[in-house]
Structure 1
């Protein structure tokens, strides 16, 4: 197995950023305009507080129009390097990105977009993206980051098989997350049913201080290692 190591630039057909009209965007527009705040840390999207541009503006721009199988990357600010993928479930037929995102279009003749996304989404991929980070107050990455990111590129069919496995793993992870959230909601519901809202205290339960029901409050040993050789946390 002798797979070639390539730069990200080798598998990209297009790299571009977006824009917004001079008058800004609004909730009353026509076409969604995505920014850094709409990319989630799990590779998905958060469409809360979504702003839009007019059809006229959308039709006038040459760059930043989102298409299926695009990879979107936050290019500046506190969440620089965050990555999301535009899969078949993306809910908008037409959408654009603003100036805080990069849009990557992968050359599907040599690379599977999902394979590239999963690499960029990995901790190692994110670290390589941030090798290009510069600036302090409003730092970010330049278009040159695609020359810094390098990864092993298997044959196309192998990439697709790997991506399919990672798709399944991601689906299981998301399902587990949904189950955990439901259990968390159930626990809160049971607590409220038994005791009521702790803020308003509708059942007039007795309120006490933690010190009233504690026999001892202390911290741990202030050392990195005990005499026995066991590690101690402080």
Structure 2
């Protein structure tokens, strides 16, 4: 049976056309996000304009709406990108610590916290934008939802793999306090004047977290 172009890999007989098209679309999305972050950082979300994002990116307004649906979609995509990097970096740090032989729940928690806070410095332009709390309608709910998920993850990590019973109130409150502290520290780190200052804050926060968690 003859295979149509749409059924072939990549939409072309050699299978490369679809890959090139995807790469172009991905490059377009990345260019739009970079321009949006610059404009949001300069103007704030409320005062940022689609026209300026289009001008800085060099991408058409039609492409912007096609990929993101407007200013709110750009904001959400930037937030999801940063959140995913923070979460993946923290998870990788915990995994690496385990592979290195670490089994103490507090030490693993600190490894994840330190990695998360490091991303707050490395991605400080985006972190400042989101930690400021400004954004489109529904963004506060989005952040609260992720906060609850983050607290639940930290609760499981701090309890260790051998915990069978559901977390009690003291454990839940401890995780809430520690997670909230990390979030507030991220705000200070993102606004630090230099990398040495950011590193100093990160290490002091980790020392305090160890005392509280212990």
Q: TM-score range by the shorter chain?
A: under 0.3
TM-score (norm 1): 0.22
The structure that is strand-richer by fraction is: 1
Computing the radius of gyration from Cα coordinates, the structure with the larger value is 1
